[in-house]
Amino acid sequence: MTLQTRDRRLGWGLVAPALVWTALFFVLPFLGMVALSFARMEERAVVPAFDPGNYTRILTDPVMLQALLNSLQITLIVTVISVLLAYPLAAIIAFRIPRQWQRLALLLAVLPFWTSYVVRSYSWLLVLGQNGVLNKTLGLVGLGPLEIAASRAATVTGFVHFFVMLLTLTIYANLIQLSPNYARAAADLGANRWQVFAHVILPLTLPGVVTGAFLTFVLGIGDYITPQILGGGNELTLPQLIMLQLGRSGNFPLASALSVVLMAVVTLAYFACAKWLRLDRV
Amino acid sequence: MTAGVSVQAVSRRYGAAAVLEDVSLEIAAGEFVVLLGPSGCGKTTLLNMIGGFDEPTAGQILIGGRNMAGIPPKDRPTTTVFQDYALFPHMTLADNVAFGLRMRGVARVERLARAAEMLALVGLDGRGERRPHELSGGQRQRVALARALAVEPDVLLLDEPLGALDLKLRRQMQDELKAIQRRVGTTFVHVTHDQEEAMAIADRIVVMNAGRIEDEGPPKRVYLRPKSLFTAGFMGEVNRISLATTRLFPQLGATGVLCLRPESVVEGGALRIGPCRIADVAFFGTHVRAHVVPEAAPDLRLVVHLPQGSDVTEGQVMDLGARDFVVLEA
Amino acid sequence: MKALSWLYLALAYAFILLPVGVLVVFSFQDGRLPVPPFQGATLKWYGQVLADRDLTAALLNSAMVAVVSSAVALVLGFLAAHGLARVRLPGSVLMRGVLIAPMTVSYLIIALGLLNQFNQMGLRPSLWATGVGHVVINLPLCFAILYAAMGDHQKSAERAARDLGASEWRVLTLVSAPMLAAPMAAAFFLSVTFSWDEFIIAFLLTRFDVTLPVEIWSLLKSGLSPKTNAVGSLVFLVSVTAVLALELFVFRGKK
């Protein structure tokens, strides 16, 4: 046995467990799901078939199309708002707060990460609800009440809250790794604060921002909890529709087809920003 | 196009720690001055204060006779070549070099023409469309130089610009830097810890140590007749002989330290050392390096550099003396 | 400009911390609803939480699933990262891609695929099934972190160990793993966090024994209650304590 084949055998041995696990519990189920999406439901039983019916249904049924549209709209709005809110926050922490306090400032900025994910959405109900903190406070100054809970606005608020934290972390990491000499060189050559930002800082952090935005989009569009708790059932998102198919009618083929559509949307989003993405350096 | 710099009684403290203590320095317009010293001596702090990236806690800095207190970097007649070059990676070389002109509102065609001119000055003509990551270290250094010079500063500040280059390239860039300075006539203030680099390019060397100026003058004077023991040691290898403990040189008195550069010890020589035995010898290419022990003072051991052609062997006795020497206070 | 920055910072922190603040404050509410006005402080909801057998069981289930699945993900990820970083294998780019792939897929889709597969294999939903799903989501994370951490420095140390006669197993346990202690701790900690807080996989793949997020979810169905606030506050307290402990004892040495 040559040294190289011995090495290779060893390498395979090390990689195999992880590969087998991923193949068995990720690739195989995924392929199974794709296959299932072409199956038919007859008498509450799944009949294997190669029938694109589920997909034509998704693309023609107004309820399903609306859910797809809702998901896209909500996620895009959330992504844009989150980036716009998180960038200044990350920049202030990176450039205004003294170095020794930055870690603390970041820990504080992501503190709600550490409460339970389900509870985080619930806690927004307490703030935005009919008798919630927000309306009671508005009432004190003679305003309101606002009907925010059980609406798209509540869903967006809950999402933005979570993703502002996530994006603040990723954008901060990007800002802090820039050599301070870039900004100094630009200022030295006559750029004012705004020009330093527009010509140097922003272009240099753009890949990181796009990566964070992509992550936001992927996590947001696949999330069930936030719209379910905060949206109030007035409108459906794609994940809610999928869960409905599973729960109410046990329609696994349709749920699978919807999941494939969800995957397709994410893949499209990936190609839309592939040019700037650096998934290896999140 | 060029202006003098006047540093007047400047100090810089961070809390209780003083990085610079009462430093004064006059730099003439068009002069090439090198601030030389070990890391932590305050040379970069001084440079940053001239450039406006740091403010003195006491004293003042004048450029072209104008007090610079409170004036930000962008409004000073200075530009800086940074140690890591800080080339903008998302811009072409031409855009990098034209950046300062763009900030000053110069029209695109005009500023790109000027950028091409500057790139030609540093030997990178026709490469304006490349990006920084396509360049070697030496080329990046040139672009940084072109970018800083493109806005025609009165004073160019260079923060260890050659530190990241390998030795051979560094020597080559030194020559080019000096040639470019001669051509543009701008005042250059250059920071380095490499004394050979300092001697190669400077009109005047300012040796700094622990926040103070130890010595200043033309390279030859600072090397051959240093004003302090620190300067003597920092500028190159030196034999230190305490006059209090040796009776070899009664004519020099009985206090102070005699400093002899290894190459200043020669056969003959004005300051007599007398017969010396060669303890060991090695060929160094440009010279022959030997340790010698004067027979009149067997406790001394001197390093000497003899001419390349010297045919000496261990145990041989030579009659040696010193050509240049200084006696400094201990 | 400066004042504007501080104002923005204050507003941002208010937005970020508001819901958690409200959650914690009204967990002490002496009344039936966790909304203003605040009717006085009581600890009775905490008492109810701690006396609730379903909740405490779910908490233990979650902890167990998180620790076991993270440990499996860490070991699998470490071995794979070591194998791919050390040996040039044909198709290693493809293998890296496959191992990372689950990271780019929504948890909902992973859950649905597994649910369907387990159904077909005749396996009933259980904590084990959930654990399998959590390994799937955490394995790419552990692999990516450890693969990125294996630099040339690591490789030359391993080569030196081999040169001095260490067997592959000893290289792995005596050199590679200890050198990667910090990233391994980070990967494990992140995995535990994700598993602990994961909802949709656990929701679809458990039935009778459930994890904490699923149990909290069923609490929510009965509407707003200070008891839910108390659960959330307890989880928050425990997590923050763990984070601070890690920050102080594990990661401080690294800086």
pTM (2 decimals)? 0.84
Catalogue all structural domains in chain C, each as residue range(s) with its CATH number. 65-254 (1.10.3720.10)
CA distances from A170 to A177, A206, C5, C15 (A): 11, 11, 20, 19
The answer to whether C58 and C215 have CB atoms below 8 angstroms apart is: yes
Helix (H, G, I), strand (E, B) or coil at C142: helix
Where b means 16+ CB within 10 Å and e means fewer, A53-79 reads ebbeebeeeeebeebbebbbebbebbb
* pLDDT of A144 strictly over 80: no
Enter the CATH code of domain B5-233.
Answer: 3.40.50.300
Q: Which of A17, A116, A133 sits opposite C79 (nearest CB)?
A: A17
- The pLDDT assigned to C91 comes to 82
Q: Fold for domain B239-328?
A: OB fold (Dihydrolipoamide Acetyltransferase, E2P) (2.40.50)
Cβ of A278 under 8 Å from any chain B Cβ?
Answer: no
Q: Which of B74, B90, B99 sits opposite A203 (nearest CB)?
A: B90
Contacts of A188 in chain B (CB under 8 A): 51-53, 73-74, 78-80, 148
From A62's Cα to the closest Cα of chain C, the distance in A is 23
Distance, CA of C255 to CA of C247 (rounded, Å): 11
Q: Return the H-helix or E-strand segment holding C22.
A: helix C2-25
- The pLDDT assigned to B252 comes to 85
State the complex-level ipTM. 0.89
* pLDDT of A199 strictly over 60: yes
Cα A81 from chain centre = 13
One DSSP character per residue, B116-131 reads: HHHHHHTT-TT-TTS-
From A183's Cα to the closest Cα of chain B, the distance in A is 9
Q: Do C133 and A33 touch (CB under 8 A)?
A: no
Cβ of A153 under 8 Å from any chain B Cβ?
Answer: no
Q: What number is the average pLDDT over the span A205-221?
A: 91
Cβ of A150 under 8 Å from any chain C Cβ?
Answer: no
B245-293, pLDDT tens digit by residue?
888 888 888 888 999 999 999 988 888 888 999 999 999 999 999 999 9
Mean residue pLDDT of chain A comes to: 89
Distance, CA of A117 to CA of A135 (rounded, Å): 24
Contacts (Cβ under 8 Å, ≥6 apart) of A14: C79, C80, C82, C83, C84, C86, C87
Enter the CATH code of domain A62-277.
Answer: 1.10.3720.10
CA distances from A233 to A222, A227, B163 (A): 17, 8, 64
Mean residue pLDDT of chain B comes to: 92
State the amino acid at position A63 in one-letter form. Answer: V
Give whichever of B127-131, B263-267, B291-295, C68-72 has the largest mean pLDDT.
C68-72
Cβ of C50 under 8 Å from any chain A Cβ?
Answer: no
Cβ of A69 under 8 Å from any chain C Cβ?
Answer: no
Q: What share of chain B is helix, strand, coil (3-state, %, to 5)?
A: 30, 35, 40
Residue boundaries of the structural domains of chain B: 5-233, 239-328
Q: What number is the average pLDDT over the span B157-163?
A: 92
A32-62, pLDDT tens digit by residue?
999 999 998 887 788 888 889 899 999 999 9
Report the residue of A7, A15, A101, A225 to disrupt the C interface, i.e. the one with the largest count of C CBs within 10 Å. Answer: A15
Mean residue pLDDT of chain C comes to: 88
* pLDDT of A148 strictly over 80: no
The answer to whether C69 and C134 have CB atoms below 8 angstroms apart is: yes
Cβ of C222 under 8 Å from any chain A Cβ?
Answer: no
The answer to whether B327 and B257 have CB atoms below 8 angstroms apart is: yes
Cβ of C33 under 8 Å from any chain A Cβ?
Answer: yes
* Sheet of strand B302-307: strand arrangement: B265-267, B317-322, B271-283, B287-294, B302-307
Q: Do C113 and A15 touch (CB under 8 A)?
A: no
Q: Do A32 and C117 touch (CB under 8 A)?
A: yes
Closest by CA to C183, choosing from C213, C144, C211, C132, is C144
- The pLDDT assigned to C251 comes to 61
Q: What count of other Cβ atoms lies within 10 Å of the Cβ of residue C182?
A: 13
Partner chains of B (3+ C-beta pairs under 8 Å): A
State the amino acid at position C159 in one-letter form. Answer: R
Q: Do B86 and A203 touch (CB under 8 A)?
A: no
The larger pLDDT score, comparing residue C134 to residue A112, is at C134
Q: Return the H-helix or E-strand segment holding B188.
A: strand B187-192
Q: Do A190 and B104 touch (CB under 8 A)?
A: yes
Residue boundaries of the structural domains of chain A: 62-277
The answer to whether B68 and B121 have CB atoms below 8 angstroms apart is: no
Cβ of A100 under 8 Å from any chain B Cβ?
Answer: no
Cβ of B14 under 8 Å from any chain A Cβ?
Answer: no
Cβ of A192 under 8 Å from any chain B Cβ?
Answer: yes
> Predicted confidence band at A131 (pLDDT cuts at 50, 70, 90)?
confident
Distance, CA of A46 to CA of B251 (rounded, Å): 113
Helix (H, G, I), strand (E, B) or coil at B36: strand
